[in-house]
């Protein structure tokens, strides 16, 4: 497999990641809506901790666990932002 073939595969995976990120974000918005209805806080540290624990326990590399945590921190930060917008009606 040459460099162009590998880059094509990376581009394909990036497209898949984009779709998955947005699918996940749509679900976060639904959670935000439910939290708004129940007057629950956006920040749920126990839930975030469970996500990190599950992702690192399922991690098979080559990314190490710290890298997985850093990546999911970004994903969770953005999900939390969407939930905040949903619950507070902010932009």
Rounded to an integer, what distance in angstroms lies between the CA atom of residue 56 and that of residue 12? 25
Rounded to an integer, what distance in angstroms lies between the CA atom of residue 65 and that of residue 89? 35
Closest listed residue to residue 82, CA positions, set 39, 37, 21, 38: 21
Q: Which of residues 52-81 bind other proteins (CB under 8 A)?
A: 66, 69-70, 73-74, 77, 80-81
Candidate residues 37, 45, 61, 62; the one interacting with other proteins per rule CB under 8 A: 45
36 binds other proteins (CB under 8 A): no
Place of tokens 């749920």: 44
Candidate residues 7, 49, 50, 54; the one interacting with other proteins per rule CB under 8 A: 49
84 binds other proteins (CB under 8 A): yes
CB 83 within 8 A of CB 32: yes
Residue numbers of the site for other proteins (CB under 8 A)? 41-43, 45, 49, 66, 69-70, 73-74, 77, 80-81, 84, 88, 90
């Amino acid at each position: 497999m040459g460099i162009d073939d590998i880059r094509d595969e990376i581009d394909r995976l990036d497209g898949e990641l984009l779709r998955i990120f947005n699918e996940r974000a749509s679900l976060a918005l639904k959670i935000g809506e439910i939290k708004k209805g129940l007057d629950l806080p956006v920040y749920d540290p126990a839930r975030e901790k469970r996500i990190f624990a599950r992702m690192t326990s399922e991690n098979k590399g080559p990314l190490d666990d710290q890298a997985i945590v850093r990546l999911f921190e970004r994903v969770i930060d953005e999900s939390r932002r969407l939930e905040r917008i949903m619950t507070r009606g902010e932009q």
